[in-house]
Structure 1
Amino acid sequence: MTDATTHLWDDTVLPFQLDSADIRGRIARLDGVLEEVLAQHDYPPAIEALVAEMALLTALIGQTIKLRWKLSLQVRGDGPARLIATDYYGPSEDGAPARIRAYASYDADRVAETEQPFDLVGQGYFAILIDQGRDMAPYQGITPLAGGSLSSCAETYFAQSEQIPTRFALAYGRSTEAGQGEQWRAGGVMLQHMPKASPFAAGSGDTGGSGEGGLLTAEDILDADDGENWNRANILLDTTDELELIGPSVAPTDLLVRLFHEEGPRVFDPQPVRFGCTCSADRVRQSLSIYSAKDIATMTTDEGRVTADCQFCGAHYEFDPATLGFEATKAP
C-alpha cells in the first residue's frame, strides 16, 4: 500500500558516511523536481534520459561541496546531443532547499531513438564549474568523455582531476503508480573515498593511468588496504536494483542498512532539492549592458522590441531597445 509516508524522501539528498571503510556518500531521490526540469522542454526520449541522468549527478555532486552559490556540470560533444548543462544552487540558508535547473541543446534531425542515449553525445568533454560568488575566483575542471555513460564520465573526472575514487549507481525513467499518471523518477547512490595523498600523486603513475586513453581510475589512486575497502563497498553497491534506487517503497536509510550494515553507516541531515531558475528581466538587462546602441539595434525585431528566452525554464522577456546597453536613453 502506498501512502504519503512512502514519498517522504522524494526530492532529497541524504549524506552518509561509512566509518569503518573511510568512505562518504550520498543517496538522491528526484521526483517532482525532475518532472519540472523536463517539463520546460519537449525533448525526445533519448535527450530526456541524458538530462535526467545529468540532473541526478548534479544533485549528488552538488551536495558534497560546501557551496556558497553555484555548481555547474556541462557535457559538450560533437554528436546530435551537443550540450547537456545543469546548475545546482546551494541553499540560501539553513533548512532551505537547494535548486536545480537543466537543459539540452541538440540537433533534432540527427537524434535516432534506436541509439543508446550516451552515443548521441559523441566525442567531447565533461566539465565541472564552481562559482562561489562575488570576489571569489571560479574553478573549472575538464576531462575527456570516457566510458559508456554520463556517470562514467563523472567518475573519470574525479579520478583524473581530483584524484578521489568515486562511484555512481543511478536509475531513472518514467514510472506509474496505482491511481497516478506516468511521471519521471530518478534515484542514485554516490560513493567517494575520503581524500588522501594517492600513490599516483607520489609518482607511481608516471606512465599514465589504467583507464581509457591513459586516464586515471580508482585502482591507480588507492593503496592496497584502502583498495580492499573500496572494492568491497562497490561489490555491495552492485547488488542494488532499480526499484531500490528509485523508490519510493524502499527508504534510503533502509537501503543503507541493507548494503553497508557491516561498514557502520552514519547518516546526516537530508538536503531538500527543488527546481529553480535564477533568470530575471534585470539579469537580462545586465547581460546586455555591455552593448552599444548600434549593437542593440541589430538585436531589435521588426516590431521594435528586443527579446530573450531562458534556455533553462523557457521564460520569455521583451524590452524597449532604448532602455538597453550602455548608451540607453530611457530608464527601464
Structure 2
Amino acid sequence: MSQTPSQTFSDQLLSFTIPERDCRGRVVRLGPVLQDILGAHDYPTALTHCLAEALVLTVLMGGLLKDDGDQLTMQAQSEGGLANLLVCDYRAGELRGYLEHDRARDSEAGASASLETLFGKGHLAITFDIARSGKRYQGIVPLEGESLSAAVESYFAQSEQVPTLIRTAVKSGPEGVFAAGFLVQHLPEGEEGRERLHARLDHPEWEHVSIMAESLRHEELADNSLPLEDLIWRLYHEESEVRVLPGAQISKGCRCTVNHFEDVLARFPKEDRREMVNDDGIIVVDCAFCSKKFAIQD
C-alpha cells in the first residue's frame, strides 16, 4: 500500500485509488472547521446533524474536482418539510454551508428526523462549475431514501452513471459535533473521462470493492483517534496496491466581505438600491453563511 508518511485525522481530505479494481475514493473527517460553520446559527439537533452530513458530502464530491478554480455546489430545496433550503459549496478546500428552516416548527424535529420530515418531497441539485472551460454540469434527483448520502448515490447512478458507495457518520460530544464521510467509485476502463460503456453495479471488480466498503462501521469512521490511512488499510489491505494521497486542507470558506457585497449591489439599478437603504442611507446585508451583517454605504 502506497502511503504518505504523515497521519491524517481531521479537516483534511484523503484520496485513494485501487488501480487493479479501477476504483477511486475519498475519505474525510471534519472537526473544528465543522464546528465553526455550524456555530454561525443555532440549529436544533436534527438539523445540525443534517447540515453536518451535507458538509461532509460536499467535501467528498468537491474532492473529485481537478482544478482550484472549480466549484461544487449542493442545494436541497424543500416541499413541505421542516427545512426550507440547504446550500453547501466547496472550492479549493474552502467549505461553507447554511440551512434555512422554519423556527416555529423546530420542536417537530426532535433529536433525529427522517429525510422526508426534514425536506418533505424536496429535490437535491448538485452542480459542478468547471473554471477552465466555463461549463456548468448539474444533476437533480428527488430527496428520497434514508439519508442525504443515499440521494447523492442516486445522483451518481442516474446523472453520472458511476457506481458509487457513500458512508457518513455524525457524532456529538463534549468537544462539539464531528462528522466523517467515505466515498468510493468504480471507473470502468480505469481512466477518468473515458466513455463508461461497461459501468454497472454488478461488475465483479466493483462488487468486491463495495462489499469491503460496506463492512466499514460507524464507530470506525467517526473515531477521531484512528488515522484515515489506517481506516483505508483495514478495508483494503489485501489488495496488491492502494495508492493514498493527501488532499486539500479544509477551511471555512465564507467569501463575504464589504468589497464583495459592494460589487454585487453595484449590479442592481439605482432605483432598486434606493429601496434597500434604511433611514440612515445604509444598505444592511446579512450573510446567511456566517450570520454577519455588513453595512454598505450606497
Q: Does TM, scored on the shorter chain, surpass 0.5?
A: yes
Stretches of structure 1 lacking an aligned partner (at least 5 in a row): 1-5, 91-97, 176-180, 201-220, 322-332
Bigger share in strand: 2
> How far has the Cα of 1:223 moved from its partner?
6.9
Identity rate, percent = 34
Aligned counterparts, 1:28-39, within 5 A = 28-39=28-39
Task: Flag the 1:288–1:135 CA change in 2: closer, same or farther, 3 A.
Answer: farther
Checking the alignment, whether the CA contact within 8 Å between 2:18 and 2:24 is kept in structure 1 is yes
Aligned counterparts, 1:42-81, within 5 A = 42-67=42-67, 68-78=69-79, 79-81=81-83
For residue 147 of structure 1, what is the aligned residue in structure 2? 145
**Deviations, residues 47-96 of structure 1 (Å, cap 9, x unaligned):** 11111000000111111111323211111121121111101011xxxxxx
Q: Scaled by the length of structure 1, what TM-score is found? A: 0.79
* Residue number among 108, 115, 119 corresponding to 1:118 in the alignment: 115
Distance of 2:270 and 2:124 partners within structure 1: 37
For residue 178 of structure 2, what is the aligned residue in structure 1? 185
AA matched with 1:270: G
Distance of 1:66 and 1:267 partners within structure 2: 17
Checking the alignment, whether the CA contact within 8 Å between 2:186 and 2:206 is kept in structure 1 is yes
> How far has the Cα of 1:20 moved from its partner?
2.5
1:251 is aligned to 2:227: yes
Checking the alignment, whether the CA contact within 8 Å between 1:23 and 1:194 is kept in structure 2 is yes
Task: Flag the 1:223–1:170 CA change in 2: closer, same or farther, 3 A.
Answer: closer
Aligned counterparts, 1:145-224, within 5 A = 145-175=143-173, 181-195=174-188, 197-198=195-196, 221-222=199-200, 224=202
For residue 313 of structure 1, what is the aligned residue in structure 2? 290
Aligned counterparts, 1:7-18, within 5 A = 8-18=8-18
For residue 84 of structure 1, what is the aligned residue in structure 2? 86
> How far has the Cα of 1:144 moved from its partner?
2.1
Distance of 2:75 and 2:46 partners within structure 1: 17
Stretches of structure 2 lacking an aligned partner (at least 5 in a row): 1-5, 190-194
* Residue number among 232, 236, 243 corresponding to 1:260 in the alignment: 236
Q: Which moved more, 1:297-306 or 1:43-52?
A: 297-306
**SS of residue in 1 equivalent to 2:97:** strand
Q: Which moved more, 1:186-195 or 1:28-37?
A: 186-195
Task: Flag the 1:174–1:7 CA change in 2: closer, same or farther, 3 A.
Answer: farther
Task: Flag the 1:8–1:257 CA change in 2: closer, same or farther, 3 A.
Answer: closer
> How far has the Cα of 1:241 moved from its partner?
1.8
> How far has the Cα of 1:36 moved from its partner?
0.7
Task: Flag the 1:88–1:300 CA change in 2: closer, same or farther, 3 A.
Answer: same
The two structures, once aligned, show a CA RMSD in angstroms of 2.1
Checking the alignment, whether the CA contact within 8 Å between 2:84 and 2:100 is kept in structure 1 is yes
For residue 289 of structure 1, what is the aligned residue in structure 2? 266
1:235 is aligned to 2:211: yes
1:137 is aligned to 2:135: yes
**SS of residue in 1 equivalent to 2:237:** helix
Distance of 1:243 and 1:65 partners within structure 2: 28
